[in-house]
Amino acid sequence: MTKLKQYLFRYQGHVGAALILGGVDVTGPHLFTIHPHGSTDKLPYVTMGSGSLNAMSVFESSWRPNLTRDEAVEMVKDAIEAGIFNDLGSGSNVDVCVITKGNVEYIRGHSQPNERVAKEQSYRFAAGTTEFIGSKPGAQAGGAAAMDVSA
């Protein structure tokens, strides 16, 4: 981690990497945030990205020591969904990675709370359905130009 911190610090945020790093060693589980300018935090729960404030509110109200695996996965899902629903840049699905001593489990598509659906109707309009009511200032009198963008 030190090498990564030094690299990011050298470029002072010009390398766009905001990371969450987790793992287990002989002293137990660890969770870090690594900011683009190279600073780090070691905390029991962390968030990064545009929806991080929404996710952090879920962690602050729900986290407690010694959560079960299922409780922790559900809390992380709720935190990510808070980001999804309250921030336009946070995507639309929840992927979870559970790291335990000797095992890494990737749960892709754990939740898809904002799944895309088919449009309810067509939004294509026939040429000529919008009335032309005037010309732009400075345009030649009596002349108009239009372009059909429905194709």
Residues 124/150, Cβ–Cβ less than 8 Å: yes
Task: For residue 50, give the nearest of 85, 100, 12, 5 by alpha carbon.
Answer: 85
Q: How far is CA 15 from CA 5, 8, 19, in A?
A: 12, 7, 12
- Structure-block tokens of residue 137: 């200032």
Q: Going residue by residue through the chain, which has 151 residues, state the pLDDT in tens, using 9 for 90 and above.
A: 888 888 888 888 788 888 899 999 999 999 999 988 888 999 999 999 889 999 999 999 999 999 999 999 999 999 999 999 998 888 889 999 999 999 999 999 999 887 777 888 887 888 888 877 777 765 555 444 454 454 4
Residues 66/75, Cβ–Cβ less than 8 Å: no
Task: For residue 96, give the nearest of 79, 108, 80, 114 by alpha carbon.
Answer: 108
